[in-house]
Amino acid sequence: MQAAVRFAVASGLTLSVRGGGHSFAGLGTNDGGVVIDLRNLAEVEVIDRERGIVHIGGGATWGEVAAGLSPYGLAISSGDTKSVGVGGLTLSGGIGWMVRKYGLALDGVVAARVVTADGELVRADDEENPELYWALRGGGGNFGVVTAFEFRAHRTRDVYFGAIEFPAEEASKILPGWADYLRNAPDELTSIVNFANPFAGGVDAPVQVMVAFAGDDERAAARAIDPIRRLGTVIRDDVTLKAYSDVLVDGGTPPAGIRFVARGAFVEETSVPDVLQILLEVGASERSPFISLRAVGGAASRVAEDATAYAYRQAELMFVTNTAGPEHVVDAARPALNAIWKRLAPHTSGAYANFLTTAAPEDVAAVYPPATHRRLAAVKRHYDPRNVFSGNHNVLPASNTTLE
Ligand SMILES: Cc1cc2nc3c(=O)[nH]c(=O)nc-3n(C[C@H](O)[C@H](O)[C@H](O)COP(=O)(O)OP(=O)(O)OC[C@H]3O[C@@H](n4cnc5c(N)ncnc54)[C@H](O)[C@@H]3O)c2cc1C
């Protein structure tokens, strides 16, 4: 790995680092340059069973991690898809099925081994290279190649998991009821609402509330999930106890030529009613994008805002609009999408790097608020002053700050 980084630097070619290869913005690849593909660094080893400390290769996927930890009764709060890489998802956040119970994926990282831009292999944790350790947890691939992570895993092997669906015409009742309930629901419960899914009927698509209750206590799970069932007329309910490793889904590859535009933002409690009202109106209109809302409070919100480089801890919701289709269809949908986001802008904050299909300077500004950005730029100047690692939501090295 060190030789690969040194070669890329010496060649002057564009360098990309590829983990699971799932970046919406295609950040793990480039044309005509060097791609360091980490897929062979996929080891998953429990190194301290008592404390739940596990070593995970920088190119492992979440499917490999879940399958590797399940026999030990362990799991890590991750994303929802097996083929997504641990590297990309963790370095920018990681909002998955146990985010309210155990926090973001990056909250579980206790150390990382990193090859920096000068080809050195360093450890980053609370004691060694602490600013790098801070920056890696939210700063994406800006600081080097993570060859391995050490995570603290959780003793949750099984979860109550499934979809509860309601008729589309009940959306205006379900969405606010869901958001109000999740605000004070037990941390064990994590939930996503999907609606206006063009592949399930568009305007007529059922409102789908996905739930995951971390743990196998049947009564506690029912107590946590039943208030959601009571929000409206349940037309489908397949919630059942599953091994966490079976909850993650296979990530399909879209057919050639299909374009995909994801835009997302965070919503604080006071803005939830306005955002839901706008999304309800949008979702009831023809050609609405597919809308997905995630409740992100719980444990993720109890970590100090400056403890990691993931800044939007106080958000109550994170939502995404998704538009997919052949290029001309996506292009035709753009003006309407821009109009939707213009309405939403006064009520939302920031953006979640992992759910963006673009990585322009305005995206970087949305992902990193000023204080976070300033600190990241100082770390960048120290560890990557020539911006070797630029295939990401790129933080440019600060011109005149040094690390404290
Ligand atoms: C089907 C699908 C489902 C998803 N579900 C979720 C979800 O539930 N929750 C969620 O939070 N996100 C989710 N995502 C978003 C996902 O977190 C991002 O797309 C993420 O960037 C993917 O990481 P990757 O390693 O697979 O991607 P890559 O394209 O390989 O890499 C993405 C970025 O991370 C960098 N990178 C990757 N690994 C390393 C490493 N080891 N060291 C240094 N840099 C590295 C790359 O250089 C690049 O900048 C999903 C994405 C898809 C496509």
Q: Is residue 252's pLDDT more than 80?
A: no
pLDDT at 401 over 70: no
- Global pTM reads 0.96
What is residue 37's predicted lDDT score, i.e. its pLDDT? 98
Distance 161 CA to ligand 1 centre (A): 23
Domain 2-155, CATH number (from 3.30.930.10, 3.40.640.10, 3.40.50.10860, 3.30.465.10): 3.30.465.10
Separation of CA 18 and ligand 1 centre (Å): 9
CA of 203 to the centre of ligand 1 (A): 30
Q: Mean pLDDT in the chain?
A: 95
What's residue 400's pLDDT?
A: 66
Model pLDDT, residue 200: 85
Give me ligand 1 centre to Cα 84, in Å.
6
Distances (CA, A) of 350 to 264, 285, 355: 8, 26, 12
Residue 198 banded pLDDT, cuts 50, 70, 90: confident
Percent of the chain with pLDDT over 70: 99
Give the tens place of pLDDT for each residue, 82-108: 999 999 999 999 999 999 999 999 999
Tell me the per-residue pLDDT of 125-175, one tens digit each, with 9 for 90 and over: 999 999 999 999 999 999 999 999 999 999 988 999 999 999 999 999 999
In the predicted model, is pLDDT for residue 287 greater than 90? no
Cβ atoms of 22 and 79 within 8 Å: the answer is no
Residue 255: pLDDT over 90:
no
Q: What pLDDT, on the 0 to 100 scale, is given for residue 404?
A: 59
Residue 12 CA, distance from chain mean position: 31
Give the residue extent of every domain in the chain.
2-155, 158-361
Local confidence band at 254 (pLDDT 50, 70, 90 cut-offs)? confident
Taking the centre of ligand 1 as the mean of its atom positions, its distance from the CA of residue 269, in whole angstroms, is 28
Residue of 77, 354, 388 to test ligand 1 pocket, by largest number of atoms within 8 Å of CB:
354
The Cα 241–Cα 221 span in angstroms is 10
CA angle 21, 22, 24 (to 5 degrees): 125
When pLDDT is cut at 50, 70 and 90, the band that residue 77 belongs to is confident
Q: Quick one: pLDDT band at residue 286, thresholds 50, 70, 90?
A: confident
Sign of the Cα pseudo-torsion (279, 283, 284, 288, in order): positive
CA gap 103, 100 in Å, rounded: 6
Alpha-carbon distance of 241 to 20, in angstroms, equals 28
CATH class of 158-361: alpha beta
pLDDT at 80 over 80: yes
pLDDT tier at 209 (50, 70, 90 boundaries)? Answer: very high
pLDDT at position 402 is 59
Task: Confirm if 63 and 248 have CB atoms less than 8 A apart.
Answer: yes
Tokens coding 114: 């990193």
> pLDDT per residue over 21-40, tens digit each?
999 999 999 999 999 999 99
What does the pLDDT look like over 304-329, one tens digit per residue?
Answer: 999 999 999 999 999 999 999 999 99
Say yes or no: CB of residue 88 within 6 Å of ligand 1.
Answer: yes
- Mutate which of 2, 23, 253 for ligand 1 pocket (most atoms within 8 A of beta carbon): 23
CA distance 215 to 294: 20
**CB of 87 closer than 8 Å to CB of 59:** yes
Write the CB contacts of 380 (distance below 8 Å, at least 6 apart in sequence): 135, 142, 143, 387, 395, 396, 397, 398
Is ligand 1 within 6 A of the CB of residue 320? no
